Copies of this chain bind each other. A is one copy, B any other.
Amino acid sequence: MRPSGRNADQLREIKFTCGFTKHAEGSVLVEFGETRVLCTASVDVNNVPRFLKGKGEGWITAEYGMLPRSTHSRMGREASQGKQGGRTMEIQRLIGRSLRAAVDMKALGENTITVDCDVLQADGGTRTASITGGFVALSLAIKHMLNKKQIKTNPIHGQIASVSVGIYQGIPILDLDYAEDSQAETDMNVVMNDASAFIELQGTAEGHAFRKEELERMLELANSGIKQLLEKQQVALGNY
């Protein structure tokens, strides 16, 4: 029995609120149950990082942050501590790589899109919510660029989403919340595209090492969860 009362293969309630803030070219509040992340995509036209100058290609990058009291007990603010922690760096690198895998950089032209994922409230799975919501924010920003004729063709060549899976009391489960995650024996974050292929796979044995059969069962759960997330992204983008 999961603490959340959900079935092993059941996602939390997923919600996308597109246009949550007004300044960003793409903005969405994504909710995976009680986890709420504000994802914004900011377009920097005709500007790319130094290593890409003059190559005719664009760039997608991501930054991640948690509000100090998004968590159970207050965390120190990274800005006042003078640096981003290792966990933050690891997560924002993961988000950036995942989103870049969905975009044709040539078609994006010499433009940069920065996706900010800021956690307003954390209840497990902030990185998978960030990637899943980040893709929506990115899509909205691309739509904006197409409308503004800043690019001619849609550079998105695939749809991506992400979910966590894990092993809780010996049973593989989908989309762990904080109560489940903090007691899970294994925790895995999976990013997949709409062709059911893998973009990123990051599994960590917390309690005991996981066997091949367990891995396979987790990947099946992830696949089914991601299919649902891809549909919900489509609905959100279609309705906005």
Residues of A within 8 A of B (CB): 21-24, 27, 34, 36, 38, 40, 42, 44, 63, 65, 67-74, 77-80, 82-90, 92-93, 97, 101, 114, 116, 118, 120-122, 158, 188, 192-193, 195-205, 208-212, 215, 219
Contact = CB atoms under 8 A, between A and B. Distances in A.
B63 A80 contact: yes
The quantity of this chain's copies bound in the complex is 6
A80 B78 CA distance: 8
A118 B161 CA distance: 28
Contacts of A22: 34, 121
A23 B65 contact: no
A83 B86 contact: no
B69 A27 contact: yes
A129 to B, nearest CB: 15
B24 A69 contact: yes
A70 B200 contact: no
Contacts of A69: 21, 23-24, 27, 40, 42, 116
Contacts of A188: 201
A92 B87 CA distance: 11
Which of A23, A71, A73 counts the most chain B CB atoms within 10 A?
Answer: A23
